[in-house]
Amino acid sequence: MPDTKQQSKDKDSSTEADSKEAEKPSPVPSRRRSRWQYLAFGFVALIAFIWGGLEVHDRLAYVHEVDARIQTNLITVSSRVSGWVSNISASLGETVVKSGVLAMIDDRESQLRLAELEAQVSGIQAERTRARADLELVNQQTKSRLVSARVNKNAAKVSVSSLRPQRELAKRELKRSQKLFAKRVISRRQLDQSEARHERIDREYRLALAELKSAEAKVQESIAERAKIQVMEADISVLQQKEAEYNAKIRSQALDFEDRVIRSPVNGVVDRVFVESGEYVTPGQRIALIHDPTEVWIEANIKETEIRKVRIGQHVEISVDAYPDKMFKGTVKSIGDSATSEFALLPTPNPSGNFTKITQRLPVRVKIEQQGRKFRPGMMVIVKIDVSTPDSAAQAATNKNK
């Protein structure tokens, strides 16, 4: 029995020794494993070196901005008049042409007001026509009266001028007859004849003189009647001014009537409609929001520490989040002269002097050509501005774009 136990112990010890001997690695596989480790390390180092070189080149040759957006001129179409919306022709995403109808506002009251003003103008025109007819009639009547009065005045003047020397002659003959009668040269009868002739001619002269004064008075009266023409012309001018005033009101009312049809100012796309049929709108209230899909650009806010590298005309690589599998090209169109913080609604004054310095950004506009309405306002894009472009090449590109 003791020999059996000893033999089993010897077996166990020999088995443990064999297993330990088997666990020891052979020297050749160990060398192969070290070689593969070196190769893997070298490959990783090469990839890291290439990636680092590309990253350094990318940072030196490009200015990046990941928070850029596609922008356009969003046009807010508003109402210039108040009233009930009778019809909405525009809908979200619909393509509209310039002067195309977007909405209509009830125009019944405006149309009635326009008809009322036109009727008032017609009445003023009729009154002005009658006033002109009266003016022409008065003009003809007073003109003939004035001519007749002037003829009578001239006749009276001739009569007075012809009787004046006869009166003087009769007066001298009467004096001579009186002297001769005093000397008993002529008879009483001859003296009486001289006195009668003098009185007759003197009476005729006075009558002619009275007729002359009457004719002069009638001439003045006719001239005064002619003054009515000026008064009537002034009345006609007042009617003309009133007609012009009402015509201006008609044009204003016609503009009000026309403004009740809301039209698109440009060829574009409807982005949003703010009202529905049956709503009451007031002047200045928004009706719709539209934009021209052909006029788009990219607005990128570049850090002030990198803006010195950017030049107008430099090439830009554009990646649109909506189309990640495609790259687009663009050029720098303009560079803002003020930081975006200057346009903030809430300014950040610093009277105490304690502040945290924040890198400011300046807006840079990138020109991009629309491609089948792929680019829509508000889309996020990533831009890479190639700042390695020489200034001469950038200037040449700028001149070409102009």
User: For 43-62, what is each residue's pLDDT tens digit?
Assistant: 787 788 777 766 665 666 78
Tell me: pLDDT of 401 over 60.
Answer: no
CA atoms within 13 A on the CB side of 109: 8
Tell me the two tokens of residue 316.
């830009």
194, 177 contact by CB (below 8 A)? yes
Map 38-101 to HEC letters.
Answer: HHHHHHHHHHHHHHHHHHHHHHHHEEEEEEEEEEECCEEEECCCCEEEEEECCCCCCEECCCCE
Helix (H, G, I), strand (E, B) or coil at 338: coil
The structural domains of the chain, ordered by start, are 62-74+293-344+358-401 (2.40.30.170), 75-107+261-290 (2.40.50.100), 110-258 (1.10.287)
Indicate the range of 81-95, 172-186, 286-300 predicted with least confidence.
172-186
Q: What is the mean pLDDT of residues 290-294?
A: 92
How does residue 394 score in pLDDT terms, banded at 50, 70 and 90? Answer: low
Tell me: pLDDT of 7 over 50.
Answer: no
Q: What is the mean pLDDT of residues 279-294?
A: 93
**What was the pLDDT predicted at 328?**
93
143, 226 contact by CB (below 8 A)? yes
How does residue 70 score in pLDDT terms, banded at 50, 70 and 90? Answer: very high
Q: Is the pTM of this model over 0.85?
A: no
How does residue 153 score in pLDDT terms, banded at 50, 70 and 90? Answer: confident
Q: List residues bridging with 269 in a β-sheet.
A: 95, 291
Tell me: pLDDT of 217 over 90.
Answer: no
How does residue 391 score in pLDDT terms, banded at 50, 70 and 90? Answer: low
Q: What is the mean pLDDT of residues 317-345?
A: 89
Tell me: pLDDT of 332 over 70.
Answer: yes
Q: CA 181 to CA 187: how far, in whole Å? A: 6
User: What percentage of residues in the chain have a pLDDT greater than 90?
Assistant: 39
Q: CA 161 to CA 156: how far, in whole Å? A: 8
Tell me the two tokens of residue 369.
């050509």
Q: What is the mean pLDDT of residues 33-40?
A: 73
Tell me: pLDDT of 13 over 60.
Answer: no
Q: CA 126 to CA 132: how far, in whole Å? A: 10
Q: Highest-confidence range of 166-170, 174-178, 365-369, by mean pLDDT?
A: 365-369
Tell me: pLDDT of 400 over 70.
Answer: no
User: For 346-381, what is each residue's pLDDT tens digit?
Assistant: 766 666 666 677 888 999 999 999 888 899 999 999
Q: What is the mean pLDDT of residues 2-27?
A: 47
How does residue 158 score in pLDDT terms, banded at 50, 70 and 90? Answer: confident
User: For 229-273, what is each residue's pLDDT tens digit?
Assistant: 888 888 888 999 999 999 999 999 999 999 999 999 999 999 999
292, 266 contact by CB (below 8 A)? yes
Q: What is the mean pLDDT of residues 129-138?
A: 87
269, 94 contact by CB (below 8 A)? yes
**What was the pLDDT predicted at 20?**
46
Q: Mark 113-147 as b/e (b = at least 16 C-beta within 10 Å).
A: ebeebbebbeebeeebeebeeebeebeeebeebbe
Mean pLDDT in the chain?
Answer: 82
Tell me: pLDDT of 28 over 50.
Answer: no
In 3D space, the residue among 128, 131, 135 whose CA is nearest the CA of residue 246 turns out to be: 128
CA distances from 349 to 33, 324, 341, 359, 361 (A): 66, 41, 11, 16, 17
Q: CA 18 to CA 186: how far, in whole Å? A: 210
Tell me: pLDDT of 19 over 50.
Answer: no
In 3D space, the residue among 44, 113, 82, 93 whose CA is nearest the CA of residue 281 turns out to be: 82
**What was the pLDDT predicted at 103?**
94
**What was the pLDDT predicted at 3?**
47
Handedness of CA 297, 298, 303, 305 (dihedral sign): negative
